[in-house]
Amino acid sequence: MILVTRLNGSVFALNPDLIQRVDATPDTVVTLVDGAKFIISEPLAELVERVLAFRARVVATAHSLEETGSADVLELVHPAAEAKTKGAQGAPDTDSELPAPVPLHRRRP
C-alpha cells in the first residue's frame, strides 16, 4: 500500500495494484479498476514514483526471503510524515505518527 493525501488533507492507503489510470486535470485523479475515483493532492509524477518505490520494496523483500529465509519489514511511510520526523542528521525520529510496521513471515508450503 502507498499513502496518499486527499484534497482536504486526510491521508489514506491505496493499493497500487488496483489503479487503472491516473489523470492530471490539473488535480490528480486516481481511477481504480472498479471505477472508484479519488482526487489526491500529490502530483502525477510523485504518485508514479511512490508506486515504483512500492514495487521495488516488494521485489527486494521477496528476494530477501528467498536468500535468507527472513525479510526486513515493509514500512508504510508517508513522505510528508517522514520529512516532519527527520532530525538534524536526516535520521527518522523514533516517535513517528504512523503505527509500528507488521513483520512479514514466510508462507508455509
For the stretch 8-30, pLDDT in tens is 999 999 999 999 999 998 899 99
pTM of the model: 0.61
Read off the C-alpha cell for 31. Answer: 481511477
78 vs 92 pLDDT, higher one:
78
Q: What are phi and psi of 82, to 5 degrees?
A: -65, -40
Alpha carbon distance 96, 79 (integer Å): 12
Q: State the pLDDT at residue 67.
A: 75
Alpha carbon distance 46, 102 (integer Å): 25
Read off the C-alpha cell for 13. Answer: 492507503
Average pLDDT, the chain: 80
For the stretch 26-79, pLDDT in tens is 899 999 999 999 999 999 999 999 999 999 998 888 888 777 766 555 555 555
Beta strands 11-14; 19-24: pairing state: unpaired
List the alpha helices (DSSP H) in 35-105: 44-68, 79-85
1 pLDDT band, cuts 50/70/90, is: very high
